[in-house]
Amino acid sequence: MKKTYVMPLLVLTIICLAVSAALAFMNSVTEPVISAAAAQRAQAVMADKLPEATGFEPVEFLGLEGIPASINEIYKTTNDIGYILIAAVNGFSGDITVICAVDNNGVIISTSTLSHTETRGIGTIIEQESFLDTFSGADNRLDGVDTVTGATISTRAFIHAIDDILTAFRIVTQ
């Protein structure tokens, strides 16, 4: 009786170990390629948000007091025309990742949604130019920026991300 259970269990264990080893090997082969492609996409998005920039260098912000937890990355342009900040906040259906270009005076140049899982048709207002354009030219007061009825949670989360970005900008540039 024991033998009938041992052999299938042993075969399944060997199969699981072989598949795990194959997955680990494939991950080690593809991870550098995927990381390089992601870095290239990030550079392209940053260049799109701040086309006058000649390059971007990361800003070390860990350990600075007051930086909101939502801030993931901060970059300064190499020709000193502004900053790119990336934040992730919780929306209605999950995280919303926002990228924002800010000039040296703390005025928003442009912003967009990098990724989100918001409800199609309602929460996707955070991708639309009509909503994103309300941020261009705004400073830390965010005058003229308001939530959108029907997508209140998503737009409020986006506005919160921009507020966190502007807070981080003020701290980093002090």
- Our measurement of the distance from residue 90's CA atom to the centroid of its chain's CA atoms, rounded to an integer in Å, reads 11
Q: Residue 139's pLDDT is what?
A: 84
Same domain, residue pair 37 and 72:
no
* Same domain, yes or no: 80 and 152: yes
Please report the pLDDT score of residue 140 as a whole number: 75
Residue 29 and residue 60 share a domain: no
Residue 15: give the domain boundaries: 1-49
pLDDT digits (tens, 9 = 90+) for 68-88: 999 999 999 999 999 999 999
Closest CA to 99 of 71, 79, 134, 128: 71
pLDDT band at residue 107 under the 50/70/90 scheme:
very high
Over the stretch 127-159, which tens digit does the pLDDT of each residue have? 888 888 888 888 877 766 666 665 678 888 998
pLDDT of amino acid 2: 65
Q: Specify the DSSP element, H or E, that contains 103.
A: strand 95-103
Q: What is the DSSP letter of 53?
A: -
Number of structural domains the chain divides into = 2
Phi, psi of 132 (to 5 degrees): -65, -35
